[in-house]
């Protein structure tokens, strides 16, 4: 696990194609990391604010009860748009997510903070991001997060949920992050999105915006192992991508939608479900590639692991 005194590991979950479960991945990885004892900051970069809505569901309910509103909290929050304008305000944008893990349990903070999004991110124009100060504003703002009496803000991981397109805001995030994790669905369009992303990363490196940026892994989501096409595509892509491919796929399962609907990541809501174990395996493999976990080492606090390689072996047959 990450040692005290080290910088937070920053991971952007990104694919230049929509509908590949980027938000679901961020939502559940954040839960897994927090349940294992880490402090996590989730930064919502998508104006649709889906990960904000799921992680801050209980916060929004409390806000509405206090102010007599319906779903208005996100309209009033600070977002990356505000942070780009004044990076030193980043502490003011951070919200401690309250999560209820089951009926009858009071919602409480469980180690996940959120910098939320709302529709105002759509108003970010090209002219707002046309100088170096704006381009590096997110990177600089992250270095300005300060301890307070109420909260340590001592993060082990920062996860970015990016929109499925390469705008100025996404470029600023990629200039600030350490790694890119790429969810993909079993179709040629998704893999075309990965090809475009490779070109984007090369451009960001060559321009000197973030010379060390790397794609740490690609994995399949929403896979149906009984379908011949999915098995064939899995084998083909595994061969084509080589080491960058993460063998563990995420199976298609309604529990993932259920977790987002209730605002509770799978590791708390459906601890023993196969899709939960898939996400645990992908998270652990990502951390191995970041140098946090050793080979064969597992995150603590997650219970006994169901064999994470069973589904990938089945697909490879």
pLDDT, tens only, 204-230: 999 999 999 999 999 999 988 767 777
Average pLDDT over residues 301-305: 76
Domain locations in the chain?
9-316
Structure tokens at 158: 């920062």
For the domain made up of 9-316, the CATH class stated in words is alpha beta
- pLDDT at residue 2, as a whole number: 46
Q: What is the three-state SS of the chain?
A: CCCCCCCCEEEEECCCCCCCCHHHHHHHHHHHHHHCCCCEEEEECCCCCHHHHHHCHHHHHHHHHHHCCCCCHHHHCCCHHHHHHCHHHHHHHCEEEEECCCCCCCCEEEEEEEECCCHHHHHCCHHHHCCHHHHCHHHHHHCCCCCCCCCCCCCCEEEEECCCCCCHHHHHHHCCCCEEEEEECCCHHHHHHHHHHHHHHHHHHHCCCCCCCEEEEEEECCECCCCHHHHHHHHHHHHHHHHHECCCCCECCHHHHHHHHHCCCHHHHCCCCHHHHHHHHHHHHHHHHCCCCCCCCCCCCCCCCCCCCHHHHHHHC
- pLDDT at residue 244, as a whole number: 94
CA 247 from chain centre, in angstroms, equals 19
Indicate the Cα dihedral angle 241, 245, 251, 256, nearest 10°. -120
User: pLDDT for 133-179, tens place per residue?
Assistant: 778 999 999 999 988 877 778 999 999 999 998 888 999 999 999 99
Average pLDDT over residues 28-50: 97
Q: What is the pTM of this model?
A: 0.92
Average pLDDT over residues 177-187: 93
């Amino acid at each position: 696990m990450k040692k005290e005194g080290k910088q937070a590991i920053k991971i952007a979950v990104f694919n230049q194609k929509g509908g590949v479960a980027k938000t679901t991945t961020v939502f559940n990885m954040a839960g897994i990391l927090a349940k294992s004892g880490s402090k996590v900051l989730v930064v919502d970069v998508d104006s649709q604010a889906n990960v904000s809505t799921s992680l801050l569901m209980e916060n929004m309910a409390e806000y509405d009860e206090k102010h007599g509103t319906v779903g208005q909290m996100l309209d009033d929050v600070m977002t990356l748009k505000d942070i780009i304008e004044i990076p030193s305000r980043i502490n003011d944008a951070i919200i401690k997510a309250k999560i209820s893990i089951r009926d009858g349990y009071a919602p409480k903070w469980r180690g996940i903070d959120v910098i939320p999004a709302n529709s105002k991110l759509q108003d970010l124009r090209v002219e707002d991001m046309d100088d170096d100060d704006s381009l590096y504003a997110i990177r600089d703002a992250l270095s300005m997060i300060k301890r307070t009496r109420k909260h340590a803000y001592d993060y082990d991981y920062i996860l970015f949920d990016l929109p499925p397109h390469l705008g100025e805001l996404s470029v600023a995030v990629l200039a600030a992050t350490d790694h890119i994790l790429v969810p993909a669905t079993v179709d040629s369009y998704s893999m075309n999105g990965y090809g475009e992303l490779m070109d984007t990363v090369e451009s960001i490196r060559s321009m000197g915006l973030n010379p060390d940026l790397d794609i740490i892994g690609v994995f399949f989501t929403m896979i149906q192992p009984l379908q011949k096409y999915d098995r064939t595509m899995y084998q083909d892509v595994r061969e084509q991508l080589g080491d960058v491919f993460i063998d563990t796929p995420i199976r298609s399962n309604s529990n993932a939608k259920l977790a987002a609907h209730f605002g509770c990541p799978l590791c708390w809501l459906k601890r023993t479900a196969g899709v939960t174990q898939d996400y645990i395996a992908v998270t652990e493999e990502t951390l191995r590639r970041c140098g946090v976990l050793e080979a064969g080492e597992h995150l603590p606090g997650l219970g006994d692991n169901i064999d994470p390689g069973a589904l990938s072996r089945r697909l490879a047959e």
